[in-house]
């Protein structure tokens, strides 16, 4: 705002311009640019606290707030909302993917545990069958060996009996020959073969 007092307006051009003859401003004169007398700058209130400018400050505050509100409503808020929606959608997709992967992992674990249990049961069945087969085979082999040993023992007993009978027969013959030789030495003659055999038989019976 520009303030010009009537008293100064009626003065000479030099006074109207606020300068003296030498071009310097007169003391106590008001500057036409600011409307404030020289030397009053330091004594004036701080502009934001000047009551004469409250209306303009409030006007600009309302204008600035309105522009900022429109900017927030039309530009910033939609962008922030879009970013939040995008992140929410991405988080939801990530959670769904994580749930799907977890379900697949659980199914894989259950399948693995089922296959492992089936393999263990099959291995136990195979082991039991192998043990039973080995036991049956060992029992069969044992019976075969026992039968073979029994036959061999019987054959050995028969052979021993034959050897024993032959030995006894040889012993009788040897005894008869020995008895005949002893009788010949004692009596100086040959004894009858029948008598010698009878005497040996009698001695066997007594033995």
**pLDDT profile of the chain (207 residues), mean per 10:** 40 43 46 47 66 84 93 90 92 93 93 92 90 89 88 87 75 69 67 66 62
* Residue pointed to by tokens 């020289």: 38
In this predicted structure, what is the pLDDT of residue 51?
75
Q: Are 30 and 36 in contact (CB under 8 A)?
A: yes
Distances (CA, A) of 137 to 91, 127, 130: 67, 15, 10
Chain center to CA of 160: 76
Residue 191: is it exposed, middle or buried by C-beta count within 10 angstroms (0-12/13-18/19+)? middle
Q: In sequence order, which residues have a C-beta less than 8 Å from that of residue 45 and are 6 or more positions away?
A: 51
In this predicted structure, what is the pLDDT of residue 49?
75
Strand locations in the chain (E): none
CA distance 124 to 1: 108
In this predicted structure, what is the pLDDT of residue 33?
45
- The pTM of the full predicted model, rounded to 2 decimals, is 0.35
In this predicted structure, what is the pLDDT of residue 66?
93
* Encoded tokens for 153: 């023992």
In this predicted structure, what is the pLDDT of residue 156?
87
Tell me what percent of the chain is helix, strand and coil, each rounded to the nearest 5.
Answer: 80, 0, 20
């Amino acid at each position: 705002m520009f303030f010009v007092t009537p008293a100064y307006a009626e003065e000479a051009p030099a006074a109207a311009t606020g300068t003296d003859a030498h071009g310097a401003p007169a003391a106590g004169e008001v500057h036409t640019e600011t409307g404030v007398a020289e030397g009053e700058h330091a004594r004036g209130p701080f502009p934001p606290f000047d009551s004469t400018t409250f209306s303009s400050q409030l006007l600009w505050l309302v204008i600035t707030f309105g522009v900022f509100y429109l900017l927030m409503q039309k530009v910033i808020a939609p962008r922030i909302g879009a970013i939040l929606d995008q992140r929410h959608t991405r988080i939801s997709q990530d959670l769904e993917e994580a749930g799907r992967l977890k379900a697949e992992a659980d199914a894989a674990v259950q399948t693995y545990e089922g296959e492992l249990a089936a393999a263990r049961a099959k291995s136990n069945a195979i082991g039991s069958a192998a043990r039973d087969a080995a036991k049956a085979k060992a029992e069969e082999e044992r019976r075969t060996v026992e039968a073979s040993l029994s036959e061999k023992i019987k054959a050995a007993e028969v052979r021993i009996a034959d050897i024993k009978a032959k030995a006894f027969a040889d012993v009788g013959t040897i005894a008869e020959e020995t008895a005949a030789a002893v009788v010949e030495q004692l009596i100086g003659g040959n004894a009858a073969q029948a008598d010698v055999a009878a005497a040996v038989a009698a001695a066997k019976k007594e033995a």
